[in-house]
Amino acid sequence: MTLRDVIDKLLGRQPASANTAKQRLQLVLAHDRSDLNPELLQQMRREILEVVSRYVEIDFDEGDVTLETEDRVTALVANLPIRRAKLTVPTAAPEAALGTGLSS
């Protein structure tokens, strides 16, 4: 946050548009580059949450699965706050391997 952003906030003014432009671009390019439309991303997000929640209790409101881009490399970032581990681990779920690919 810059000094200008703070002043804008205090005065209730719209922030400078360059920063908005940058953020919107980064988001749209992450989708363009990965060829994932928001609908597919939502579906993937649901399925990932489903698998993870078999093992641990997740805070669904805080959890987030997003695409982030840096230096033309797009990463899937899952940020899933865990409330607590589940006591009974499900038996031999084949999708369990999915979990290892996720990090924040």
Q: Which residues bind another protein (CB under 8 A)?
A: 1-4, 6-7, 16-19, 21-22, 24-26, 28-29, 32-33, 71-72
2 versus 43: smaller Cβ distance to another protein: 2
Output 16 or 98, the one with its CB closest to another protein: 16
Q: What residues does 77 pair with on adjacent strands?
A: 66
In the complex, least distance from residue 16 CB atom to another protein, rounded to whole angstroms: 4
Decide: 67 and 30 in contact? Cβ < 8 Å: yes
Nearest residue (CB) to another protein, 14 versus 103: 14
Least distance to another protein, CB of residue 32, Å? 6
Query: Smallest gap, in angstroms, from Cβ of residue 61 to another protein?
Result: 26
Position of tokens 């399925």? 47
Burial of 2 (0-12, 13-18, 19+ CB in 10 A): exposed
CB-based burial of residue 48 (10 Å sphere; 0-12 exposed, 13-18 middle, 19+ buried)? buried
